[in-house]
Amino acid sequence: MVLPENDFQKIVGERLRGFRSVQRLKQIDLAETLGIYQSQYSRIESGEVSLSLYYVIVLMDKYDLNPSFIFRNGEKMIDVGKRKMSLEEKVDRYEAILRENNIDI
């Protein structure tokens, strides 16, 4: 089932907020990682704006995130005990998830 863009953005924001909470990070920490202002990051978490592919890749690389934790229900936030994926593999996996959900790349 494809979600409306607004609902999708809110889910992504909730997942990021959950990740940040588990990691005991502040919004400013993730904003600095992404090279954006804290206010911009706050708008991503609140679902006001979407998270760009570039920012997803930066977060996946920095925190060794599995992209499906953002884009699928019931997925774990972090791949624990699995081999590390290369950045290229992460991008390929992210793009496949977007295609499965009929989201333009």
Q: Is the dihedral of CA 57, 96, 98, 13 positive or negative?
A: negative
pTM, two decimals, is: 0.63
* pLDDT per position as a tens digit, 15-60: 889 888 888 999 999 999 999 999 999 999 998 988 888 888 898 8
Map residue 83 onto helix, strand or coil.
coil
- How confident is the model at residue 103, as a pLDDT? 66
Domain boundaries, the chain: 5-100
Return the structure tokens found at 19: 């990740």
pLDDT of the residue at 14: 87
pLDDT digits (tens, 9 = 90+) for 55-82: 888 988 888 887 776 666 544 333 333 4
- Buried-state track 11-41, b at ≥16 Cβ within 10 A, e below 16: bbbebbbebbeeeeeebeebbebbeeeeeeb
Q: 5-100 in CATH: which number?
A: 1.10.260.40
